[in-house]
Structure 1
Amino acid sequence: MGLNGRLVASFEVKCEGHLFHDLYQTSCHHLSNISPEKIHHFHIHEGDDVKAGSVIGWKFNHDGKVNVTKQLIEAIDDEKKSITWKVIEGDTLEIYSAFTIIASFENNWVTWTFLYEKKTEDTPDPINLLGFLVDVTKDIDAHLHKETKGC
Structure 2
Amino acid sequence: MGVKGKLIASVEVKCGGHSVHDIFHKKTHHIANISPSKIQHFEIHEGETVKVGSVVNWKYNDDGKDKVAKQVIEAVDPQTKSITWKVIAGDLLELYNSFTIITSCDHQWTTWTFVYEKKTEDIPEPLVLLGFVLHVTKDIEGHLLK
Structure 2 residue runs of 5 or longer lacking an equivalent are none
Identity %: 62
Is 1:13 matched up with 2:37?
no
Give the aligned partner of residue 99 of structure 2: 99
Q: Quote the Cα distance in structure 1 between the aligned partners of 2:59 and 2:117.
A: 22
Give the aligned partner of residue 129 of structure 1: 129
- 2:67 partner letter: N
Tell me the secondary structure at the aligned position of residue 117 of structure 1.
Answer: strand
Give the aligned partner of residue 23 of structure 2: 23
What's the TM-score once normalised by structure 1's chain length? 0.94
Q: Quote the Cα distance in structure 2 between the aligned partners of 1:89 and 1:2.
A: 18
Q: Quote the Cα distance in structure 2 between the aligned partners of 1:137 and 1:17.
A: 10
* Cα offset, 1:74, TM superposition: 0.4
Q: Provide the aligned length of Structure 1 versus Structure 2.
A: 146
- 2:54 partner letter: S
Is 1:138 matched up with 2:143?
no
Does the C-alpha gap of structure 1 residues 72 and 65 become closer, same or farther in structure 2, counting only changes over 3 Å? Answer: same
Shifted more, 130-139 versus 19-28: the winner is 19-28
* Cα offset, 1:124, TM superposition: 0.4
What's the TM-score once normalised by structure 2's chain length? 0.97
Deviations 1:70-111 (A, max 9, x none): 000000001111110000000000000000000111100011
Give the aligned partner of residue 87 of structure 2: 87
Structure 1 residue runs of 5 or longer lacking an equivalent are 147-151
Runs of 4+ residues over 2 Å off in structure 1: none
RMSD (Å), alpha carbons = 1.1
- 1:43 partner letter: E
Give the aligned partner of residue 149 of structure 1: none
- 1:32 partner letter: A
* Cα offset, 1:2, TM superposition: 7.3
Conserved? CA contact 2:2–2:97, under 8 Å: no
Q: Quote the Cα distance in structure 1 between the aligned partners of 2:106 and 2:79.
A: 9
